Chains A and B, each alone.
Chain A
């Protein structure tokens, strides 16, 4: 597709009222070029196809064949091309859409610099997060707006915050309503003789799921025999006839109109399916299905939809439908769930998809000998009694319990043996033990020393302790639970906390960019380093500006932050040196930046 080009004779109009300049429109891959016939006119247009959104006039309307192109970057300007005939316009339009699609693939290859197609929803989530979390907003303002980090990088590490909603939505499948929407009573207008039924895609889906005969009829009759509207009109007429409980009229009309008869008769397809299902299942062993599944031939009480009982002549028996049948069928469908994922408005597509699903499942079930064989095997397996069977010797896997000594010994570390020193040490140890034992014997003999402690020493101890405690109180604060940060003025405190979060953010991106393999990472690292040196100097300035009695504590607080930045700078310098050394001496392999 990409190699072709389309060239058509057109008239270019910049607005609807413009008479139009005749010329040629040439569309090639990625580019749209309009060249006017008159070389002197200046309405030449050259645009890339990825930026185009298009509107066009419909065939069959009285308007001339126009293609209206709006270019994304130039907001508000629309370019209208008038073609000679409709097929031309369709060709151009299709070509542009095809180009738009194929353009997306090469874009995906450009990994880092491509802009994500953000859905509006995602943008909303981002704005909400920024609004709620002021810290995040401050970070965002500082880094993304000063172009240190791009939007994508900023949000890349915060996928958990963003992704929660979207992940939740995509994982869960929406189930079916348990309310029977297919049988809702129509709205009647008291004055006229009209009855209005409402039809939504949800209702259509339910009808198709519950009544396969209707679905089949739809596929057969629409659009060959009648339009969709007529089909639904007939269907609802049948429903209305049911609701009036006038089986005689129903029989009469069914005799007249064969399509109507389809709706009025019991559902053949359903009956067939259930019969097959029952045949396949052994009711003694498997409770999957039994006679009660055959909804249409239930022994029921004859209760109608709105609770009244009815006695009906036998020849009109088939036009009767009871509450139990409908309920059971509806329940079965709801439990099955949504078997297709088609979300389209087109009824035909829905009908076809449902039929296909049913056919596939029927095809799976209809395997002949193998299925029977498997069934028999399954029955014999289930029917067996455990205590009458031979003992099963399962293959044993040996336990692998690791020797705990491995762990503890590895903790001892590598010990260096120096025999000469060891002997000397042993002697020392022996002497030391002797001394210790002597002390114990001595104290046993003499008892506690008297006086235990001299009063001057005691006094000295007291005064030094008091001094320590009082100075500590000044430095750390009266309340042992009080945090030092609360003693700082509020602006300084906020600044310190903000620097702390930025120092968590920046080095994360910095360290993740190593090793540098693309020029993009190179520039990113450069920008990050500049931002980090900026923060470093700000921290220094803050240290100077704070009051003298708090300065020591602040510098203690700030020290680990500066150490982290220092480590990052060191790494940067070392890496830079290594690169320049490598590029100046030694050969440079191909493609290595």
Chain B
């Protein structure tokens, strides 16, 4: 009955898309083990689902070479057919873990196929952000009544500068869709991408200091729905790292050349823009110096 459904839809119904970092290179050397991390996260998901009957949770695993949907709370197949294996997991998450294991296996195979590429040990954030946004777009088109979506990015791996363009595109799409991207960074270095993502889309960024209290951080900061954020004070970072990476070498730079047509960033002078193909005129400085060089050479010969 549509009227009943409408009454149940209060302001704080939320759809949380969780991007889980499963980069093995990161998890092989951290203070917290992956299983401990998982237990914090799963308890948090349970708490979110408990806040409101109509809340939904989606989990997307961000691997080293691929991403995939792991869990969708709106699918009813989760509840039936659970396997009871002793004291194991509560049935709600049994399928999540099964799918996660399958995903890790698949990811391993893919990374083996990939070959001898020497990339930074980063996870595929751009891929999982895109998948999340696609799902959210589908929810938007499903009709009037839908929960308010937001994305929570749980990441520990450092940024991969080669993904700069794709990540920025996703961030701008999220901004357009008005979907906040929260980010919880549990790694060692600072993640510029996540800071920028949260800043631009109006989400919350936090770097927990104590990883064994991760559950507390998650429930205090990241469980608030969008409606309540108007009244609740959430911790804000003091500054944002706005550095970009250049499009040619993927180095992180803060001063460089920009194409005036498509705004692509380069760290050194190029003759042609690789993104839009527009030809750059010769820089006046180069012209002047080359002219004078030519003139100087003439008397010597």
Instruction: Report the bound CA distance from A592 to B161 in whole Å.
Output: 44
Q: Is A440 engaged at the interface, CB distance under 8 Å to the other chain?
A: yes
Q: Evaluate contact between A453 and B213: CB separation under 8 angstroms.
A: yes
**Which stretch from B51-59, B96-104, B134-142, B146-154 is at the chain A interface?**
B96-104
Q: Evaluate contact between B249 and A439: CB separation under 8 angstroms.
A: no
Q: Is B236 engaged at the interface, CB distance under 8 Å to the other chain?
A: yes
Nearest-Cβ distance from residue A536 to partner chain B, whole angstroms: 19
Q: Binding site of B, secondary structure by majority: helix, strand, loop or mixed?
A: helix
Chain B residues with Cβ under 8 A from A476's Cβ?
236
Known: A453-B213, A515-B284. A417 touches B24 (CB 8 A): no
Kindly supply a per-residue 1/0 record for chain A positions 393-420, scoring 1 wherever the CB is within 8 Å of any chain B CB and 0 otherwise. 0000000000000010011111111110
Q: Evaluate contact between A468 and B235: CB separation under 8 angstroms.
A: yes
Instruction: Report the bound CA distance from A484 to B131 in whole Å.
Output: 37
Q: Is A490 engaged at the interface, CB distance under 8 Å to the other chain?
A: no
Instruction: Report the bound CA distance from A454 to B105 in whole Å.
Output: 33
Tell me which residues from 235 to 253 in chain B have a Cβ below 8 Å from any Cβ of chain A.
Answer: 235-236, 238-239, 247-250
Nearest-Cβ distance from residue B5 to partner chain A, whole angstroms: 32
Kindly supply a per-residue 1/0 record for chain B positions 211-223, scoring 1 wherever the CB is within 8 Å of any chain A CB and 0 otherwise. 0110111001100
Q: Evaluate contact between A453 and B85: CB separation under 8 angstroms.
A: no
Q: Is A432 engaged at the interface, CB distance under 8 Å to the other chain?
A: yes
Partner of A461, one of B38, B116, B216: B216
Q: Evaluate contact between B104 and A433: CB separation under 8 angstroms.
A: yes
Q: Is B280 engaged at the interface, CB distance under 8 Å to the other chain?
A: no
Nearest-Cβ distance from residue B290 to partner chain A, whole angstroms: 12
Q: Evaluate contact between A458 and B88: CB separation under 8 angstroms.
A: no
Q: Evaluate contact between B117 and A415: CB separation under 8 angstroms.
A: yes
Q: Is A217 engaged at the interface, CB distance under 8 Å to the other chain?
A: no
**Which stretch from A49-57, A423-431, A526-534 is at the chain B interface?**
A423-431
Chain B residues with Cβ under 8 A from A284's Cβ?
none
Q: Evaluate contact between A444 and B235: CB separation under 8 angstroms.
A: no
Instruction: Report the bound CA distance from A436 to B34 in whole Å.
Output: 7
Known: A422-B117, A480-B236. A449 touches B36 (CB 8 A): yes
Q: Is B87 engaged at the interface, CB distance under 8 Å to the other chain?
A: yes
Q: Is B71 engaged at the interface, CB distance under 8 Å to the other chain?
A: no
Q: Evaluate contact between B86 and A445: CB separation under 8 angstroms.
A: yes
Q: Is B255 engaged at the interface, CB distance under 8 Å to the other chain?
A: yes
Closest residue to A425 on the B side, CB-wise?
A: B118
Q: Evaluate contact between A460 and B213: CB separation under 8 angstroms.
A: yes
Nearest-Cβ distance from residue B89 to partner chain A, whole angstroms: 5
Chain A residues with Cβ under 8 A from B292's Cβ?
582, 589, 592
Chain A residues with Cβ under 8 A from B111's Cβ?
429, 433
Chain B residues with Cβ under 8 A from A428's Cβ?
25, 28
Closest residue to A464 on the B side, CB-wise?
A: B209
Q: Evaluate contact between A439 and B117: CB separation under 8 angstroms.
A: no
Known: A439-B34, A445-B85, A473-B233. A452 touches B101 (CB 8 A): no
Q: Evaluate contact between A437 and B104: CB separation under 8 angstroms.
A: yes
Closest residue to A516 on the B side, CB-wise?
A: B288
Q: Evaluate contact between B255 and A567: CB separation under 8 angstroms.
A: yes
Q: Evaluate contact between A449 and B39: CB separation under 8 angstroms.
A: yes
Instruction: Report the bound CA distance from A475 to B239 in whole Å.
Output: 12
Instruction: Report the bound CA distance from A475 to B238 in whole Å.
Output: 9
Closest residue to A411 on the B side, CB-wise?
A: B165
Closest residue to B116 on the A side, CB-wise?
A: A422
Chain B residues with Cβ under 8 A from A587's Cβ?
295-296, 299
Chain A residues with Cβ under 8 A from B284's Cβ?
514-515
Chain B residues with Cβ under 8 A from A444's Cβ?
85, 88-89, 94, 97-98, 101
Chain A residues with Cβ under 8 A from B89's Cβ?
443-444, 447-448
Chain B residues with Cβ under 8 A from A475's Cβ?
238
Tell me which residues from 26 to 42 in chain B have a Cβ below 8 Å from any Cβ of chain A.
Answer: 27-28, 33-36, 38-40, 42
Partner of A465, one of B27, B220, B247, B250: B220
Closest residue to B236 on the A side, CB-wise?
A: A472
Q: Evaluate contact between A453 and B215: CB separation under 8 angstroms.
A: yes
Nearest-Cβ distance from residue A581 to partner chain B, whole angstroms: 12
Chain B residues with Cβ under 8 A from A426's Cβ?
112, 116
Q: Evaluate contact between B87 and A436: CB separation under 8 angstroms.
A: no
Q: Is A112 engaged at the interface, CB distance under 8 Å to the other chain?
A: no
Partner of B39, one of A416, A429, A443: A443
Q: Evaluate contact between B35 and A443: CB separation under 8 angstroms.
A: yes
Q: Is B81 engaged at the interface, CB distance under 8 Å to the other chain?
A: no
Partner of A443, one of B85, B97, B234, B236: B97
Instruction: Report the bound CA distance from A144 to B32 in whole Å.
Output: 64
Q: Evaluate contact between B215 and A460: CB separation under 8 angstroms.
A: no
Known: A443-B39, A447-B89. A410 touches B274 (CB 8 A): yes
Q: Evaluate contact between B116 and A419: CB separation under 8 angstroms.
A: yes
Nearest-Cβ distance from residue B229 to partner chain A, whole angstroms: 9
Instruction: Report the bound CA distance from A468 to B162 in whole Å.
Output: 33
Q: Evaluate contact between A435 and B27: CB separation under 8 angstroms.
A: yes
Q: Is A462 engaged at the interface, CB distance under 8 Å to the other chain?
A: yes
Closest residue to B89 on the A side, CB-wise?
A: A447
Q: Evaluate contact between A589 and B85: CB separation under 8 angstroms.
A: no
Q: Evaluate contact between A453 and B108: CB separation under 8 angstroms.
A: no
Interface centre among A413, A586, A592 (most CB of B within 10 A): A413
Tell me which residues from 61 to 101 in chain B have a Cβ below 8 Å from any Cβ of chain A.
Answer: 64, 85-90, 94, 97-98, 100-101
Q: Evaluate contact between A461 and B213: CB separation under 8 angstroms.
A: yes
Nearest-Cβ distance from residue A495 to partner chain B, whole angstroms: 23
Q: Is A446 engaged at the interface, CB distance under 8 Å to the other chain?
A: yes
- Smallest CB-CB A-B distances: 8 pairs: A432-B24, A422-B116, A439-B34, A413-B250, A589-B295, A461-B213, A432-B28, A461-B216
Q: Which residues of A contact B (CB under 8 A)?
A: 407, 410-419, 421-423, 425-426, 428-433, 435-437, 439-449, 452-454, 457-458, 460-462, 464-465, 468-469, 472-473, 475-476, 480, 514-515, 517, 556, 567, 582, 586-587, 589, 592
Q: Which residues of B contact A (CB under 8 A)?
A: 22, 24-25, 27-28, 33-36, 38-40, 42-43, 64, 85-90, 94, 97-98, 100-101, 104-105, 107-108, 111-112, 116-119, 161-162, 165-166, 208-210, 212-213, 215-217, 220-221, 233-236, 238-239, 247-250, 255, 274-275, 284-285, 287-288, 292, 295-296, 299
Q: A436-B27, A447-B88, A458-B216 are in contact. List 12 more A-B contacts (CB 8 A).
A: A411-B162, A425-B118, A428-B28, A432-B28, A433-B107, A439-B33, A447-B87, A461-B208, A464-B210, A515-B284, A517-B288, A589-B296
